[in-house]
Structure 1
Amino acid sequence: MRSPFKPRRWILIVTGVVMLAVSGCAWIPEGEKPARFIEAPSTEHISSHVHFDKAKAPAKQWPKPEWWREFGSEELNSLMAKALQGNPDLKAAAARLRQAQALIRVEGARLLPFLDADAEFANERISEHGVFAALNREEAAGANIVFGKMNPLSLRYEFDFWGKYRAALEAAIGEAASEDAEMAETRLLLTTAIARSYIRGLALRRQLDLSRKIVELRKEMLHLAEMRLKLGLDSEDPVEQAGIELEAANKREAGLRDQLDIQKNLLVRLTGGGPIPLDKLFAAGIHDSKALQLPAKLPLELLAHRPDLAAALRRAEAASERIKMAKASFLPTIDLTAFAGFNALTMTKGASSLANLLFSGASFSYGVAPGVRLPLFEGGRLRGELSAQLAEYDGAVELYNDTLLHAVQEVGDSLSSWEETHSILKAQVRLLSSSRKNQTLAEERFSIGLDDRQTALSREYTALDQEHALQAVEAEHWIARVDLIEALGGGYSNDLKIVQQKIAHSQDHPEGFSLLRWLITMPAMFDKK
């Protein structure tokens, strides 16, 4: 008897049901307008008052990756080398980067078919008192059910029609690029911290040597005051004052020793606890006397070399791809499974015949099973996930905006500090020069008997005190130089054109950063081991 339903009618019914289900599951709620990247503020007001030496201005990237070599200190270079190999924070950042790179492989595997092989064998004895034995005691009672299956080829593949898994791959690439920038930021913070500590320690070491000379000078001045008291040339007041000044000098020397120990211990921690000859530390010094060679202008392109800014942008990139993933979850998924192999099941008193039966041509089997899954009702889960991803994207964009404004502020502050400390340093050098001239005049007057020894020692103390202050001012000027290097990224390289293209594209399409990021970063990520 012919069925009343024609095959064409069945096809129409199934197609109608599928279309209805797709229309029901494809509704994606519209959220609020996404956050937007702000335009970078101009740096003209920052560098307009700073005078650069255009003749010496570097033409290529500045700062250089190993910027600390410009200080001309082999001791500082050695500390940097130890830190880059042994610092725990840097090793942890490298581990996070490797983890992020491994997730790229995990997410990329979802775009490929899964092939595997499986085999299964079972031998089950039927109870003589069970149901099967009761139905067929002669054949089934005490017999064995032997089953064998061997599929040397099984395939599972989910079609990525809506770009869900490609977006997951893009998000993983963005996270890995962010971790790469975070590692560069950790390296920058580490090297600048070592440079600051070394500069402070170097200044403290020189100040300590000067303080010891000041202590000896104060002792001599106290001895002269006591001699004048014994000779009846002065009262006890100069003796008391000389004693107070000696104890103040002793106190300053002790404080300098304590601060110097702090810098030594800090360097030990920053370098990862490696062997550092603490007794000979800060002996080499800095031999660079050149002026800071900045570019003739400070364009905004230099800010693209900041690793924290690059990391914030990559986070926003990854968040935008996760929006695409959340939207794709509203759409149906289509997959395909297939297998080819052998399977056989027999009931026998022994299992020896299974092998001949399993590998016979009649036991060959295969199957193909396409599947469609429609998210008709998820209890609000999909909308919640989409809202969460939109909020994460907005937060990532605002973090980038805040990082950008903070970067401009840091550049401005460090430039101002570098300029001001340079002016203070020149004034302190002039002041020290005047003090030494006064000291020379006092010694000459003492040699011809116009002044006493106490006046000459007092002038010598003034010169030593000004030299003591010069070490602090010079250290602050060098530290301001390190601050500016840190503010400009410390040699980190980032492609500004790609950054600008992504920002411009994301203004209107926050869920779709280009796959170009993958093509650019993928080779470098697998090369960095």
Structure 2
Amino acid sequence: MIGQITPKRSRLFGAYVVFMLLASSCAWIPPGDKPAQFLHSPSLDHALSHTGRDEPHAPAGHWPPERWWREFSSSELNGLMDVALKDNVGLKVAAARLRQAQAMVRVEGARLLPFLDAEAEFENTRISENGVFAALNRQEAAGANIVFGRINPFNFRYEFDFWGKNRAALEAALGEAEAEKAEQAEVLLQLTGAIARSYIQGMALRQQLDLTHDMAKLRRDLLSMDETRLQLGLDSADPVKQAIIELEQINKREAGIRDQLDIQRNLLARLVGKGPDATQNLFADTVLSPERIRLPAQLPLELLSQRPDLASALHRTEAAAQRVKVAKAGFLPTIDLTAFAGVNALRMTKGASSLANLLFSGSSFSYGIAPGLRLPLFEGGRLRGELSAQRAEYDSAVELYNETLLRAVQEVADSLSRWQETQAILEAHGRLLSAQHENLNLAQVRFRSGLDDRRALLARRHTLLDQEYVLKNLQSDQLVAMVDLMEALGGGYVNTLQPVQQSPEQPGWWPW
């Protein structure tokens, strides 16, 4: 008969319907806006051009080294760093986050593998003598026990990852783990940088405290001479009053330095993860000199790729791109396979149950294989919302990377500028100190010749000490600029993932 649907035609028609549903499902994925673009590294030619001056340079190679603080040749600073690497709370928190991210990698990776488990179930149910079953069959069912047992030592479940959904989820988890590893390196870099800066400032304060002791001694000698001249009637009381004022100013400066020194000691104690008593004997005898640190002859811009914050931002963009793939795969069919093998039995009895004998008999063996297909047709906009959210997360991650890159370039340029300018200021101050030494030598000659009294000699010594006091600040500023540059260039961190310079629209990177 014309139009009759034969079994063969029915199978072909069903296969055709399934194929059309699978093919049309891709069209349900809504198109997205143009994704965010990665910035290319801005030019640093002007800032880097000043690094080739005629001065001694550090040896060629990776700069700064991994343990960059050892460049300062300070055993005290090295000891602080060693303690901080073991006891700092922030590092421990970062390590815990990294372990959590690595655990999620194992969770997502498990989705690519088949699931095997076993189950056992036993149930004993008494039928009510006044219930529905008893009313239908009072003689057999009223008051009887329904005994059921099932043992499946083999349960198999597997989802076919035809669209790469589970693989993308694993890649996203791997990206997050790598980002957390870079975040841990960033915490370490910020910690060691903070310790080095605090230690350098503390060293400068300790040296300034020694100078204020010498200046206070000179002021007391001047006050004593002015008081003697007043008693002998050789001068008025005005010089005595002025000497007292200047002495108290030095005492005030000394008290302020002691307070700042205590603050630096307490800060270092917190940074290394100890109590304040652990750092009270710091700054005993170590002297840091800026001449010990040498800038390499060349600083290629590629060193920016060794910054852990840039590496973290880049890994997070990759993870976000993979999550977009996961969201897209949610629009596609899910195909899985389940299977089981075991024994099960059910018996209704009013006496002692013989379920065990029945359950483990050969006739109770059972198995099953069930391929499954799930095609999302309507979910109230949930899938579109998830995809839109993941696309927005990707754009946000790219823009965060761009912002981090711009900040990195600024920090490198700023630290290079501070390094160079503090060096120029130190050279100028060195010439000023040479002139002050010559002035003091001249005052000593005039004193020995009787042309000047001792007050003039002490005053010039005080002026020289005051300039040496300023020198400690300048040396500290240059050392801090060196720390800033080492931190701006990643502090020895090595990143295996290079910054992406291609457009997100190129194949293989644009996730939609």
Q: TM-score, normalised by structure 2?
A: 0.95
Q: State the Cα distance separating 1:135 from its structure 2 match.
A: 2.5
Q: State the Cα distance separating 1:217 from its structure 2 match.
A: 1.3
The unaligned stretches of length 5 or more in structure 1 are: 514-529
SS in 1 for 2:498: helix
The equivalent residue for 2:305 is 304
* Residue pairs, 1:333-372, within 5 angstroms: 333-372=334-373
Establish whether residue 25 from structure 1 lines up as the match of residue 25 from structure 2.
yes
Distance 1:253 1:510, change over 3 A: farther
The equivalent residue for 1:264 is 265
Distance 1:507 1:16, change over 3 A: closer
Residue type of the alignment partner of 2:6: K
Distance 1:167 1:511, change over 3 A: farther
Distance 1:195 1:477, change over 3 A: same
Distance, in Å, in 1 between the alignment partners of 2:233 and 2:17 is 119
Structure 1, residues 125-160: CA drift from partner, whole Å, max 9, x if none? 222222222322232222211100000000111111
SS in 1 for 2:52: coil
The unaligned stretches of length 5 or more in structure 2 are: none
Distance, in Å, in 1 between the alignment partners of 2:138 and 2:169 is 59
Q: State the Cα distance separating 1:219 from its structure 2 match.
A: 1.5
Distance, in Å, in 2 between the alignment partners of 1:346 and 1:235 is 123
Distance, in Å, in 2 between the alignment partners of 1:192 and 1:350 is 81
Establish whether residue 9 from structure 1 lines up as the match of residue 9 from structure 2.
yes
Contact 1:122/1:148, CA 8 A, preserved across alignment: yes
Q: State the Cα distance separating 1:432 from its structure 2 match.
A: 2.1
Contact 1:24/1:376, CA 8 A, preserved across alignment: no
Establish whether residue 466 from structure 1 lines up as the match of residue 474 from structure 2.
no
Contact 2:118/2:154, CA 8 A, preserved across alignment: yes
Distance 1:443 1:377, change over 3 A: same
* Residue pairs, 1:289-438, within 5 angstroms: 290-438=291-439
Contact 1:73/1:284, CA 8 A, preserved across alignment: no
Contact 1:321/1:512, CA 8 A, preserved across alignment: no
Contact 1:188/1:486, CA 8 A, preserved across alignment: yes
SS in 1 for 2:159: strand
Q: TM-score, normalised by structure 1?
A: 0.92
Q: State the Cα distance separating 1:41 from its structure 2 match.
A: 1.9
Distance 1:210 1:286, change over 3 A: closer
Segment drifting more, 190-199 vs 16-25 = 16-25
Q: 1:508 aligns with which of 498, 503, 506?
A: 506
Contact 2:289/2:475, CA 8 A, preserved across alignment: no
Distance, in Å, in 1 between the alignment partners of 2:509 and 2:374 is 24
- Runs of 4+ that moved beyond 6 A: none
Residue type of the alignment partner of 1:19: F
The equivalent residue for 1:169 is 170
Percent of residue pairs identical: 63
Paired residue total: 507
The equivalent residue for 2:491 is 490
The equivalent residue for 1:499 is 498
Q: State the Cα distance separating 1:375 from its structure 2 match.
A: 0.9
Segment drifting more, 15-24 vs 238-247 = 15-24
Distance, in Å, in 1 between the alignment partners of 2:387 and 2:102 is 25
Contact 2:265/2:276, CA 8 A, preserved across alignment: no
Structure 1, residues 475-520: CA drift from partner, whole Å, max 9, x if none? 111001001001100000013xx425x542744247568xxxxxxx
Contact 1:86/1:274, CA 8 A, preserved across alignment: no
Distance, in Å, in 2 between the alignment partners of 1:503 and 1:387 is 25
Segment drifting more, 175-184 vs 432-441 = 432-441
Segment drifting more, 287-296 vs 430-439 = 287-296
Structure 1, residues 174-205: CA drift from partner, whole Å, max 9, x if none? 11111111111110000010000000000001
Residue type of the alignment partner of 1:119: A
Q: State the Cα distance separating 1:52 from its structure 2 match.
A: 4.5
Distance, in Å, in 2 between the alignment partners of 1:396 and 1:320 is 9
Segment drifting more, 128-137 vs 259-268 = 128-137
Distance, in Å, in 1 between the alignment partners of 2:216 and 2:36 is 63
Contact 1:319/1:393, CA 8 A, preserved across alignment: yes
Contact 1:103/1:172, CA 8 A, preserved across alignment: yes
Distance, in Å, in 2 between the alignment partners of 1:235 and 1:154 is 107
Q: State the Cα distance separating 1:104 from its structure 2 match.
A: 0.4
Distance, in Å, in 2 between the alignment partners of 1:269 and 1:259 is 15
Residue type of the alignment partner of 2:330: S
Structure 1, residues 42-90: CA drift from partner, whole Å, max 9, x if none? 2221111333468744322110010001101100001001111111111
SS in 2 for 1:115: strand
Distance, in Å, in 2 between the alignment partners of 1:385 and 1:123 is 45
SS in 2 for 1:280: coil
Distance, in Å, in 2 between the alignment partners of 1:6 and 1:346 is 43
Contact 1:123/1:144, CA 8 A, preserved across alignment: yes
Distance, in Å, in 2 between the alignment partners of 1:377 and 1:23 is 16
After superposition, the CA RMSD in angstroms is 1.9
Residue type of the alignment partner of 2:498: V
Q: State the Cα distance separating 1:271 from its structure 2 match.
A: 0.6
